[in-house]
Amino acid sequence: MQDRGHFMTELRNERSMNIDQMSVAESFDLINSEDATVPAAVAAAKPAIVAAIELVVAAFRAGGRLIYVGAGTSGRLGVVDASECPPTYLTPPEMVQGVIAGGMGAMFKAVEGAEDSEQGGADAMAEKKVGPNDVVFGIATGGSTPFVHGAIRYAKEHGAKTVFFACVPFEQFPDQADVSIRVLTGPEVITGSTRMKAGTATKLVLNMVTTIAMVQIGKVYENLMVDVNAYSNRKLIDRGGRIISRITGVDREKGLELLHAANGRVKTGIVMQLCGVSREEAEELLARHGGNVRAVIQNGR
């Protein structure tokens, strides 16, 4: 068994050596100050993060998928990010997916040993039929998870682009991905508990990856989620109507009326109003311009 004691995420944090003797308020201040270091660590990895996002954008434009792969907290965060894309950006469920070692049951209860199988990661990618249009994004904050490395290996062998995310330096545990993101968050307050700073860094990076990629493919106009799945709940119906109202200048009631006339499609409602066209014509215009509202508005009919 490999000794991982020298890995950055396994080192002891000198500032928290006596956390077991601190008051609740003192513990809060310590953890809060440690968490405050995470954004700078993410910023330091900007070139790799940008390169990863560009791979994802290219995959989406080619009709491909983003598939997150991880174990434990890393796998759960990938599944969470993937699950939030359909309601926020009206993406098909298969466009962004999360794979967690041990299967979906591991979202709620640890499946011990599942992360130790490199073949298991490869098998998971085979089951997804990973190919040249896809991006497989491995998440292993400690760097060594065999399940993730197996998934990356299989993906590369089958022509997919690959990204690897870890919170240890490359030299501590290398990877074979096309893009290697290393966000060095340092020793955790509780030694080895990578659900803390490393988990926070993971969430920040995954937020950036899908958000920026969705913006790039036209899912956002200005800073409004014009592809929101407005019919998924009352809150989003209200938001969809308000978005139409804000962009077109009509009142909220008219915005909701347009939303319903557009069958819940915010983009369609916007184009109907601004271009003075029917729902069918609005959908045709959007299709002609790759779903980009700004392009439709600028080019008119």
Active site residue 115: yes
Tokens for 265, please give them.
């499609």
Is 282 a residue whose pLDDT tops 60? yes
Flag whether 81 is in a domain.
yes
Please give the average per-residue pLDDT across 262-269, as a whole number: 94
Flag whether 1 is in a domain.
no
Pairing of strands 135-139, 161-166: parallel
Is 16 a residue whose pLDDT tops 90? yes
Catalytic residue among 10, 54, 84, 281: 84
- Of 192, 216, 240, which one is at a domain's C-terminal end? 216
Task: Give the pLDDT of residue 4.
Answer: 61
Task: Give the pLDDT of residue 100.
Answer: 96
- Of 216, 246, 262, which one is at a domain's C-terminal end? 216
- Residue 186's nearest CA partner among 2, 29, 3, 42 is 42
33 and 103 in a single domain? The answer is: yes
pLDDT-derived band at 8 (thresholds 50, 70, 90) equals: confident
Contact 182, 169 (CB under 8 A): yes
Choice between 87 and 55, residue whose per-residue pLDDT is larger: 55
Active site residue 84: yes
196 and 269 in a single domain? The answer is: no
Distance CA 191, CA 163 (A): 26
Average pLDDT, the chain: 93
DSSP for 210-268 reads HHHHHHHTTS-BTTB-TT--GGGSHHHHHHHHHHHHHHH---HHHHHHHHHHTTT-HHH
- Of 193, 216, 239, which one is at a domain's C-terminal end? 216
Q: What residues make up the domain containing 237?
A: 230-299
- Residue 99's nearest CA partner among 84, 113, 83, 87 is 83
For residue 298, what are the contacts with CB-CB under 8 A and spacing of at least 6? none
Task: Give the pLDDT of residue 301.
Answer: 62
157 and 248 in a single domain? The answer is: no
Catalytic residue among 54, 94, 112, 115: 115
186 and 258 in a single domain? The answer is: no
Task: Give the pLDDT of residue 104.
Answer: 83
User: For residue range 61-112, what is the model confidence (pLDDT) as tens digits?
Assistant: 999 999 999 999 999 999 999 999 999 999 999 999 999 999 888 888 877 6
Q: What is residue 37's DSSP assignment?
A: T
